[in-house]
Amino acid sequence: AQKITQTQPGMFVQEKEAVTLDCTYDTSDPSYGLFWYKQPSSGEMIFLIYQGSYDQQNATEGRYSLNFQKARKSANLVISASQLGDSAMYFCAMRGLLQGGSEKLVFGKGMKLTVNP
């Protein structure tokens, strides 16, 4: 079974500082993908970054990077130079990538990031 764990209920960071949001996972799929989504107070779900389990390098998208440690089963999101607009809920998610595997996308409980001026 797939499981995503986000243990930090909330974090506070000063504007322009870097912040790491934790995510650990468990799966029996040999090939899987990890995703991070952002949900601002307006409610929409915004895709941030993706990491495939066989990708050799950590994914980066602008100010977002994913610190992927496969042996530790962790996929932490790093936001560099936080901005006020980064204040939101953040969700880690996972799905299997092989046909016949766990194609459903499962989310963690999320964590709330607040960026202070």
Report which residue type is found at 94. M
10 Å CB burial of residue 74 (0-12, 13-18, 19+) is middle
Task: Find the distance separating the first CA and the last CA of the chain, reported in whole Å.
Answer: 41
90 binds another protein (CB under 8 A): no
106 binds another protein (CB under 8 A): yes
Query: Which residue lies nearer to another protein by CB, 34 or 115?
Result: 34
110 binds another protein (CB under 8 A): yes
Tokens 């998208």 found at: 61
Q: Which stretch binds another protein (CB under 8 A): 15-23, 63-71, 72-80, 103-111?
A: 103-111
Residues 18-47 contacting another protein, CB under 8 A = 31, 33, 35, 37, 43-45, 47
Provide the 10 A C-beta neighbour count for residue 55: 14
User: In whole angstroms, how close is the CB of 75 to another protein at the nearest point?
Assistant: 14
Kindly report the three-state secondary structure assignment for every residue of 53-79: CCCCCCCEECCEEEEEECCCCEEEEEE
64 binds another protein (CB under 8 A): no
Binding site for another protein (CB under 8 A): 6, 9, 31, 33, 35, 37, 43-45, 47, 50, 52, 91, 93, 97-99, 103-110
